[in-house]
């Protein structure tokens, strides 16, 4: 049976107070409280700034030992690679996440590529180079450009044992197709919400303002049943973080999976 864990994308949101965190808890205790409710979390801050080793050690110390972490790749790897600092940044990144790797609490490193990262020869070569540099880490790739979603890419990821990020998002033009496929032992799923109205017109916050219904999440049972056949580990993260909707949905899905006996 696959090891399935459900959590959220980020945990440190002030608008979760009273929705998820009790009023009485200080911000420093958020992670500990979170880790008592969920056994995995996706850290997004690592996209904006390179993580420090001490920072990561603090995460390990301040959370329940059962909890593991998925962390986003730095923007210098995926969005703004700078040839002058690229290699140094990657080495610094690997060094910083080593404590997670050593303590067996690193679920995945998520490399999220923007729409402008087109399916072109130069980009394919770049991706190959990046994956080779990071090969000691458990990697997952999320493509925002739909042209990457083809068999050649899937086979390439399979050969390199790199996971493919499955997404749940509104079914509207311009949003990459949803494709449930496993390319490594790890299946990685991100729920972005289905706010079709605000997806293109809203801001970063209103785009993810969506609460999944029980019916919507229950429909994932069949899809997860297929994924558990090929993946040994499944990590599911809710990115609809506004007003504490992500932890509400993560808990909802946890209950659904327990009822459907998909969890170990």
Partner 1 sequence: MYREIIHINFTSFMASLEALQDNSLNRIPFVIASVNTPRIFILDPSRLAFQEGIRRGMTLSKARFICPDIKVLPPNPSLYQQAGQKIFKLASTYSPLVENCGSGNIFLDITGTRTLFGISIDTAARLKLEYQNHFSLDPTTALASNKLVSKVATRILNPAGFASIPPGDEANFLKPQKVDYLPGVGSSTKARLYLLGIRYIGELASLNQHQASHALGNSASGLLNRARGIDPSPVNNSLVRQPSIVFSKLLNNAHDDPTLIKAHLRLISIKAGFELRKYGLGARKFKLNLLYSDHKSTSRQKTVHCNIKADDKIFKIGCHLFEKALNRRISIKKITLSLSRLQQSKSQYSLFKNHNHQLKLQSTLDHLRNKYGIIAVLPASTTILPNLNNQNDYPA
For the segment 156-195, give every residue that binds partner 1 (CB under 8 A).
171-175, 177-181, 194
Find the binder of partner 1 among 216, 243, 251, 255 (CB under 8 A): 216
121 is a site residue for partner 1 (CB under 8 A)? no
Each residue 125-144 as x (binds partner 1 by CB under 8 A) or -, in order, gives --------------------
Q: Indicate the SS3 state at residue 247.
A: helix
Q: Shortest CA distance to 73 belongs to which of 119, 13, 133, 31?
A: 133
214 is a site residue for partner 1 (CB under 8 A)? no
By CB atoms closer than 10 A (0-12, 13-18, 19+), residue 213 is: exposed
Query: What are residue 100's phi and psi, to 5 degrees?
Result: -70, -40
146 is a site residue for partner 1 (CB under 8 A)? yes
Least CB distance to partner 1 at residue 160 (A): 19
Total residues in contact with partner 1, by rule CB under 8 A: 30
Per-residue DSSP letter, 45: H
Q: Shortest CA distance to 110 belongs to which of 10, 43, 208?
A: 43
What is d(CA 133, CA 93) in angstroms, rounded to the nearest whole number?
11
Least CB distance to partner 1 at residue 227 (A): 9
Interface ranges with partner 1 (CB under 8 A): 119, 146-152, 171-175, 177-181, 194, 215-216, 219-223, 225-226, 229-230
């Amino acid at each position: 049976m696959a090891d399935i864990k459900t959590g959220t994308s980020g945990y440190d949101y002030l608008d979760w107070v009273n929705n998820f965190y009790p009023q009485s808890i200080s911000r420093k205790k958020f992670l500990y409280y979170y880790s008592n409710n969920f056994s995995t979390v996706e850290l997004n801050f690592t996209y904006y700034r390179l993580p420090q080793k001490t920072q990561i050690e603090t995460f390990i110390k301040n959370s329940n030992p059962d909890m593991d972490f998925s962390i986003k790749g730095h923007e210098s790897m995926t969005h703004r690679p700078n040839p002058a600092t690229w290699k140094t940044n990657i080495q610094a990144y690997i060094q910083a996440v080593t404590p997670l790797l050593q303590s067996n609490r690193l679920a995945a490193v998520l490399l999220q590529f923007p729409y402008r990262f087109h399916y072109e020869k130069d980009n394919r070569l770049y991706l190959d180079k990046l994956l080779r540099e990071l090969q000691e880490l458990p990697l997952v790739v999320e493509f925002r450009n739909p042209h990457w979603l083809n068999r050649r890419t899937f086979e390439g990821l399979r050969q390199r044992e790199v996971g493919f990020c499955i997404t749940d998002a509104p079914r509207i033009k311009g949003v990459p197709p949803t494709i449930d496929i496993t390319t490594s032992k790890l299946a990685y799923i991100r729920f972005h919400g289905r706010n079709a109205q605000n997806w293109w017109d809203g801001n970063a916050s209103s785009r993810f303002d969506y609460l999944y219904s029980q019916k919507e999440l229950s429909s994932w049972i069949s899809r997860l049943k297929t994924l558990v056949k090929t993946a040994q580990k499944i990590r599911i993260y809710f990115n609809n973080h506004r007003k504490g909707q992500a932890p509400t949905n993560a808990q909802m899905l946890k209950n659904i999976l327990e009822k459907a006996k998909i969890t170990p």
